[in-house]
Amino acid sequence: MKVSKMFFKTYREAPADAELTSHKLLVRAGYIKKQSAGIYIYMPLGLRVLKKIENIVREEMDKIGCVELSMPKLMTEDVYALRIETFGNSMFRLKDRNGKPMCLGPTHEEAFTLAVKDNITSYKQLPITLYQIGEKFRDEVRPRFGLQRAKEFIMKDAYSYHVDQASLDEVYEDMKQAYCRIFDRLGLDYVPVFADNGAMGGSGSQEFMVKSTVGEDEIAYCPHCNYAANVEKAEVVVQSCMDKVKELPMEKVHTPNMKTIQQLVEYFGKEEKDFLKAVVYNADGKIVVALCRGDREIEEVKLANYLGVNADSLAMATHEQIQSIGSVAGFVGANTQLKNVLVVADQEVKNMHNFIMGANEFDYHYENVNLKDLVVKEYIDLRKIVKGDVCPHCHTGKIEIIRGIEVGHIFKLGTRYTKALDCKFLDENGKSQVMQMGCYGIGVSRALSACVEQHNDEKGIIWPESIAPYQVLVVVANYKEQVQNDVAEQIYNALQKKNVEVLLDDRKESAGIKFKDAELIGVPNIVIVGRKAPDGIVEYENRITGQKEEYVWQDIVNRF
Ligand SMILES: [Zn+2]
């Protein structure tokens, strides 16, 4: 391809709405162009990278025996009957000319399951894993970060169907290995992370997170054993405390005008960890008090999982609701004064002695509270993991909190969809059984932006060889010198003959502009045809290592 003929434009300035490096660079280097909020045009260079990522994903899926097909993106709304409430406004809904409710697919569990139900009847046809690569649609509240959170995005989604759990486990393992190979080939620095199954049920799930300081997800990571888990999921290990502490009698203390924990800390001359934190929730209409040490945070996902409710349905209790359980907002204490309420405590509370808590009365606290004074239904893992906690896997390393961009997710769904949609097969004994199911996603367009997030410098993008839009960029330094054009054309033709993907910058632009663009677009091998062209000498620059050397142009061609 010749740049003069390509639909291509670069920009010196990043778009005003761009916060992430990847968003800025992809727009500036002419890979994507905003069409409207959260919707992008893949320009010719961007499309080439996207196709390369798709092909790597496709190769690895095919290698483990997955079968590709393509589901419609526009479907009748009844396909999603099970989840129409869950999707709510995030689903694009429309009507056809006859008023029939339609939608744009946000994900395809139901569509695949219905197709499998129609086509598979016997255990002899199982297991099977189907996949597709294509557009998905979500009406994001706040589309942002370029391709990272867009309304229209490209995903690979795969769905596997099985006679039993053992078969599902096997395909899940294959998929995990395939995902590692894919992200390795994409040149991504990532961690597989134990994810939260939430109220979704299922028996296992892992996310693949690209390490990035601008990632939206927080991960608890152990550098000692490489354990990684979503902070919502990461188990906290508590060493039981063996200290013998003399328990003092509980006393009520007047604490007027103390609005903050800081004021109380000073008043009592104690530390934050000597206080009992009581957070009152309304969980689907049921009032729940969650307790933890004063310096800790309640992890609401853990609480929701314990209660068997969706984390979204947990709300802070109102002042009236707190009154209804016999207490006062800001002064909640977990003793027998509380009525009609479930009290659960973080396991670490068991190690507390002579602590302070609210007295269920305005402007009063209890001092020297001990476990015997509390009314707690159960002590469970309820707090958020923090930096420095002991690793729950190796029990040796200290947890670090890192950030990541989720680019893949694999999930054992069990019979959640197959049961609801009556997707069954006949087993060896002719008995009808519900299939086991797994689902496996990769954010293809998101992986593209994650890759730029990890591979760039102040001059622009630095593509890994595997997904660069072209392998070689040949630049004519001074287009007014015919000999430079001729040598460049010879290199271009010779490389094309060898099936090397080569781009020739033959634009009638200054050398400065072309050099800047060459570094901005990030093709890994740059060949500059300049002043020494009459002697057949050209300059070679490796964009990845930064190394520059002069070569006779035929030697450059031979390198590839
Ligand atoms: Zn560890």
* Mean pLDDT in residue range 317-321: 96
Residue 198 has pLDDT above 60, yes or no: no
How many angstroms is it from 205 CA to the middle of ligand 1? 19
* 349-369 pLDDT tens trace: 999 999 999 999 999 999 999
Q: Give the distance (Å) from ligand 1 centre to CA of residue 224.
A: 5
CATH class assigned to 55-71+108-235+401-442: alpha beta
Question: Residue 403: helix, strand or coil by DSSP?
Answer: strand
* 223 Cα: distance to centroid of ligand 1 (angstroms): 7
Rounded to whole angstroms, how far apart are CA atoms 154 and 139?
14
Q: What is the pLDDT of residues 124-133, one digit of tens each?
A: 999 999 999 9
| CA 392 / ligand 1 centre spacing (Å) | 7
- Section 54-59 average pLDDT: 98
**Average pLDDT over the chain, rounded to an integer:** 94
Q: Are 207 and 234 in contact (CB under 8 A)?
A: no
Alpha-carbon gap, residue 259 to 274, rounded angstroms: 17
CATH superfamily of 470-559: Anticodon-binding domain (3.40.50.800)
Q: Which tens digit of pLDDT belongs to each residue from 506-544?
A: 999 999 999 999 999 999 999 999 999 999 999 999 999
Q: What is the DSSP string of 221-287?
A: E-TTT--EEETTTPPPP-PPP----PPPPPEEEE-TT--SHHHHHHHHT--GGGBEEEEEEEETTEE
- Give residue for tokens 């709300």: 315
Q: Which pLDDT band, with edges at 50, 70 and 90, does 311 fall under?
A: confident
Indicate the DSSP class of residue 399.
Answer: -
How many Å lie between the centroid of ligand 1 and the Cα of residue 197? 21
Distance 194 CA to ligand 1 centre (A): 13
Contact 332, 291 (CB under 8 A): no
Taking the C-alpha atoms of residue 151 and residue 347, their distance in angstroms, rounded to an integer, is 42
Q: Identify the pLDDT of residue 355.
A: 97
**DSSP symbol at 331:** -
343 alpha carbon – ligand 1 mean position (Å) = 32
The pLDDT score that the predictor gives to residue 202 is 52
Residue 255 clears pLDDT 90, i.e. is over it: yes
User: Is the previous residue joined to 127 through a cis bond, with omega within 30 degrees of 0?
Assistant: yes
399 Cα to the center of ligand 1, angstroms:
7
Report the separation in Å between the CA atom of 390 and the middle of ligand 1, taken as the mean of its atom positions.
Answer: 8
Instruction: Dump strand ranges (E) for 415-557.
Output: 424-426, 432-434, 436-443, 456-457, 460-461, 472-476, 502-505, 525-529, 537-542, 548-552
Q: Hey, which of 121-125, 191-195, 556-560 has the most confident mean pLDDT?
A: 121-125
Type and span of the H or E element at 414: strand 400-414
β-partners of residue 194 are 206, 229
> If you measure from the C-alpha of residue 228 to the centroid of ligand 1, how many angstroms do you get, rounded to a whole number?
8
The answer on pLDDT for 324 being more than 50 is yes
pLDDT of amino acid 86: 85
Distance of CA 250 to the CA centre of its chain: 47
Residue 206 alpha carbon to ligand 1 centre in Å = 17
pLDDT score of 182: 98
Query: What local confidence, expressed as pLDDT, does residue 244 receive?
Result: 80
Structure tokens at 503: 């781009």
Task: Name the strand (E) or helix (H) holding 364.
Answer: strand 364-369
Cβ neighbours of 321 (radius 10 Å): 18
How many angstroms separate the alpha carbon of residue 400 from the centre of ligand 1?
10
Contact 54, 133 (CB under 8 A): yes
328 Cα: distance to centroid of ligand 1 (angstroms): 42
Q: Which two tokens stand for residue 74?
A: 């526009």
State the Cα–Cα distance between residues 13 and 28, nearest whole angstrom.
7
Per-residue model confidence (pLDDT) at position 200 = 43
Percent of all residues in the chain with a pLDDT value above 70, rounded to a whole number? 98
Spell out the CATH class of 251-380: alpha beta
Q: Is the pLDDT of residue 176 over 50?
A: yes
- Classify strands 342-346 and 378-380 as parallel, antiparallel or unpaired: parallel
- Domain range summary for the chain, segments of one domain joined by +: 55-71+108-235+401-442, 251-380, 470-559
Do residues 253 and 373 lie in contact, with contact meaning Cβ atoms separated by under 8 Å? no
Q: What is the DSSP letter of 195?
A: P
Interval between CA 226 and ligand 1 midpoint (Å): 6
pLDDT score at 110: 97
Q: Is 188 helix (H, G, I), strand (E, B) or coil?
A: coil
Q: How far is the CA of 388 from the centre of ligand 1 (A)?
A: 11
Q: Give me the mean pLDDT over the 400-422 stretch.
A: 95
Q: How far is the CA of 225 from the centre of ligand 1 (A)?
A: 4
Residue 199 above 90 pLDDT? no
> How far is residue 273 CA from its own chain's centroid?
33
pLDDT at 338 > cutoff 60 = yes
What's the pLDDT score for residue 201? Answer: 45
* Ligand 1 geometric centre to CA of 189 (Å): 19
Whether the bond between 249 and the residue before it is cis, its omega within 30 degrees of 0, is no
Q: Which residue has the tokens 């305005």?
A: 362
Question: For residue 310, what pLDDT band results from cuts at 50, 70 and 90?
Answer: confident
User: 344 and 278 in contact (C-beta within 8 Å)?
Assistant: no
* Out of 94-103, 186-195, 428-437, least confident range: 186-195
Q: Tell me the backbone φ, ψ of residue 556, rounded to 5 degrees.
A: -60, -45
> Quick one: pLDDT band at residue 426, thresholds 50, 70, 90?
very high
pLDDT of residue 203: 63
Residue 196 has pLDDT above 60, yes or no: no
